[in-house]
Amino acid sequence: MNYGEKKLDRPIRVGMVGGGRGGQIGYIHRMAATRDFNFQLIAGAFDVNPERGRDFGINLHIDPSRLYDDYKEMFAKEKERDDGIEAVIIATPNYLHYEITKAALENDLHVVCEKPMTFTVKEAEDLKELSEKHKKILATTFAYSGYQMIEQARQMVKHGDLGDIRVINMVYAHGYHNVAVEKHNASTKWRVDPKMAGPSYVLGDIGIHVLYLSRIICPELKIKKLMCSRQSFVKSRAPLEDNAMTIQKYNNGAVGYLWSSCVNSGSMYGMKIRIVGEKASIEWHEDHPYALSYEVQGEPQKIMVKGADYLYPEAREDDRGATDVVEGLFESWANLYSRFAQAMYAIDHGKTYDKWYPNVNDGLEAVRWIENCVKSADNGASWIDYK
């Protein structure tokens, strides 16, 4: 149970790049970071427009002297202070992730970076190397993975409750962009521009979220081969896809299906995952995140819920209330940020943090998956060896 008792000596001082006015994503980062007294947001370069960014930061009760024109200024000025930032949250469009993260690590800052981490595997490997060299954490916000029932799923697989895993059915298919909303919506516009979004749209924007859930739940499974078929139903989005199906074959003989889409009209809560084992399956849906369906062949379907005594202890650690306290996405994020803070604290104090969280490897593996998907898709949706 987590009732807000502090886990660190003092909050980590953090700054933010991007995530300014009108954006929901910056808000949820800030709420998650500060929720458990683990981070203190004290600096920011919130906007490409410095004036607007400064105004926004003041509104967040941040000392105006620590509101900067851009990340470069922030990193430089904060470095000179005794009470300078120790970490940075990067919530910009994709094309800036690499350069800002690189600069941050080189400035000895811990980083929490939005996904996808980079455009290429090569860039991601660079960042991984930098992260190791500077002994700084590089975390990515695969933000649905902080739900307690994801941990329960992981424990069930680990304990063999499902038997051998055979099929992983992954879906992240919403309908918000069924038409070319990007014409009037800045936060969608950059996502369909290869220069700003990278080599893919829905694969990298949402597909990797549910991919990461599968990796956390089934850490033993490794992709060996993959094929991806992608389309641009809104034609102006080409070459970026707004719909894709990936089939992947794992080392143990299991298969995975992953449907990524933003044109699944009418779907408001588009993510779900089903893990099929020899004995039983489990299924989790984004819109009922505190529940997990557990279906043993030949037995009644069981609906497990967060906070309950029958869960594995690991799945109860982050619970923030009685069973009937319905938790949502903010809690999932906060749970992850709490782990980020502990991991940062641990490495800074020469210790090891042993709970999983979406780390630099996970960021790298997501980019690798996108790269493989795009390679297959652009080669006639052919099967390729996963590299």
Per CB under 8 A, contacts with a second copy among 62-121 are none
User: Is the peptide bond prior to 116 cis by the omega test (within 30 degrees of 0)?
Assistant: yes
Specify the residue, 300 or 313, whose C-beta has the smaller distance to a second copy. Answer: 300
Which token pair is 261?
A: 């889409």
| Residue from the set 298, 313, 352, 385 that interacts with a second copy by CB under 8 A | 298
Specify the residue, 135 or 183, whose C-beta has the smaller distance to a second copy. Answer: 183
Rule CB under 8 A: is residue 178 a binding residue for a second copy? yes
Q: Determine the residue type at 302.
A: K
What binding mask, one character per residue, do residues 115-154 give for a second copy by CB under 8 A, x or -?
----------------------------------------
| Residue from the set 123, 331, 362, 371 that interacts with a second copy by CB under 8 A | 331
Shortest Cβ 299–a second copy spacing (Å): 6
DSSP SS3 for 24: helix
Cα 19 to Cα 192: distance, rounded to the nearest angstrom: 19
Distances (CA, A) of 148 to 43, 122, 329, 357: 31, 33, 11, 13
| Residue from the set 124, 168, 263, 366 that interacts with a second copy by CB under 8 A | 263
Rule CB under 8 A: is residue 183 a binding residue for a second copy? no
Rule CB under 8 A: is residue 169 a binding residue for a second copy? yes
Shortest Cβ 80–a second copy spacing (Å): 27
Rule CB under 8 A: is residue 380 a binding residue for a second copy? yes
What lies within 8 Å, CB to CB, of 188 at 6+ separation is 177, 181, 182
Cα 177 to Cα 299: distance, rounded to the nearest angstrom: 40
In terms of Cβ atoms closer than 10 Å to its own Cβ (0-12, 13-18, 19+), residue 9 is exposed
| Residue from the set 94, 141, 148, 264 that interacts with a second copy by CB under 8 A | 264
Please compute Rg for the chain using Cα positions: 21
CB 71 within 8 A of CB 17: yes
Shortest Cβ 283–a second copy spacing (Å): 9
| Residue from the set 304, 360, 373, 377 that interacts with a second copy by CB under 8 A | 304
Cα 378 to Cα 387: distance, rounded to the nearest angstrom: 16
Rule CB under 8 A: is residue 288 a binding residue for a second copy? yes
